[in-house]
Amino acid sequence: MKSTTKRTQKDYSIAFKLGVVEQVERGELTYKQAQDKYGIQGCSTVLTWLRKHGRLDWSKGTPIFLTQGFAMAKSQLPQTPEQRIKALEKELADSQLKAQFFEAVVNVLETDYGVRINKKAKRAVIEQKTIATLSVIKACHFIGITRQAYYKQCIAQVKRDIHEQRVLSFIMVERMNQPRIGTRKLKYLLSLQQLFIGRDRLFSLLASHQMLVSRQRAYHKTTNSHHHFTCHPNLIKAGLVPEKPEQLWVADITYLPTATGNTYLSLVTDAFSRKIVGYHVDDNMKTDSVKLAYAKALKQRKSNNILVHHSDRGVQYCSSEYQQLHRHYQTKCSMTDGYDCYQNALAERINGILKNEYLLIKPKDLKEARKMVEQSVTIYNQRRPHTALKYKTPDEVHQAF
């Protein structure tokens, strides 16, 4: 799909680059097909990504399978006139049998099942000139409509196709940054661009182009709740409901694999605006690493409201170092009643959004993981509409107060 908007390397996220590289290396697309499919500009942009992020050996030049095309079919010897006549007679007999078969199928569908052939299928037969000797006037007579009605349908279909192409172009650009954004959220973003389309029609359009996202589930335990540190009561369970930002923050740690080892992402999220206010990626789950996300969030805090920090009973959150931050910034601590992920559901949900919608490709190392997380958090906070926020972004809700 050709793009009319000029882009630079900064317009492509690291996750998008890694996704394209993975498709090319698996043989699903050639690098030229990838450029056409995703509207990537530049003659050798994808090759540059392959050299930088791929796993192929470039020491001997460009790998052969990236340069060689498909093998040409072997040419056949020309047929004799007698062989050609016999072949044509067989084709004619098969065509007549095929026409009788499908005519019988259509009759059964209409009489026994009440299924009617839609207008689009009939119009396609006329437009594509499937039957060379069939004129438009005769075809319209056969299907029981006037020639004016047929041309009116054609004009309406052209307008519909142009509109759908604009919709698909917008979705392709949006999914460069948010590859797993849902259809309902896309419908809202389309309406902001004055591209109106019905919900069911959008689902059907994406399904016909294999652009619907599938669910992905994975589970890794990152919480150790068996320790001797002091735990705090669950204030959320007692009825705490935030009415504006910076009243309740939820925190959690999630597993983020890389090609060279495991990394861990610590998150602090505002429960009212759903904004990620603090995060940190490291190769361990030690308290020193986890508390950096909380410290980052506290430094950006703007209000003097009473702030509650809610988390699970992980050893990092119960440690004396982490509790010292609560005392220093005069915040209240709240924890789940044992190891129950549903009591910290919002934090778990934010983990799932980042990992299932943005962090789809395994980064190479800790440095690349940190860059991917930084880009993903920015896109999530500034561009992703939330159903629970009436399709506003976390930044919009957070800044409104």
Per-residue pLDDT reduced to its tens digit, 353-376: 999 999 989 999 999 999 999 999
Q: Tell me, yes or no, if the pTM score tops 0.95.
A: no
Q: What is the pLDDT of residue 253?
A: 94
Per-residue confidence at 218, pLDDT binned at 50, 70, 90?
A: low
Per-residue confidence at 71, pLDDT binned at 50, 70, 90?
A: very low
Which residues have CB under 8 Å from 272's CB, separation 6+? 242, 243, 244, 245, 247, 248, 397
Q: Which whole number is the average pLDDT over 247-272?
A: 94
| Alpha carbons 167 and 147: distance in angstroms, whole number | 30
Per-residue confidence at 3, pLDDT binned at 50, 70, 90?
A: low
Three-state DSSP class for residue 370? helix
| Alpha carbons 352 and 103: distance in angstroms, whole number | 52
Question: Would you say 401 and 301 are in contact if contact means Cβ atoms under 8 Å apart?
Answer: no
pLDDT per residue as tens digits for the range 105-129: 777 777 877 776 677 777 777 887 7
As given in the structure block, the two tokens for residue 38 are 């995703």
Single out the residue of 238, 294, 245, 246 nearest to residue 266, CA to CA. 294
Q: Is the pLDDT of residue 63 over 60?
A: yes
Share of the chain above pLDDT 90, in %: 47
Our measurement of the distance from residue 20's CA atom to the centroid of its chain's CA atoms, rounded to an integer in Å, reads: 13
In three-state form (DSSP H/G/I as H, E/B as E, the rest C), the secondary structure along 204-235 is HHHHHCCCCCCCCCCCCCCCCCCCCCCCCCCC
| Alpha carbons 342 and 356: distance in angstroms, whole number | 19
| Alpha carbons 314 and 224: distance in angstroms, whole number | 5
Q: What is the mean pLDDT of the chain?
A: 85
Q: Is the pLDDT of residue 226 over 60?
A: no
Q: What is the pLDDT of residue 166?
A: 95
Q: What is the pLDDT of residue 264?
A: 95
As given in the structure block, the two tokens for residue 176 are 């460069």
| Alpha carbons 110 and 120: distance in angstroms, whole number | 17
Single out the residue of 20, 15, 18 nearest to residue 31, CA to CA. 20
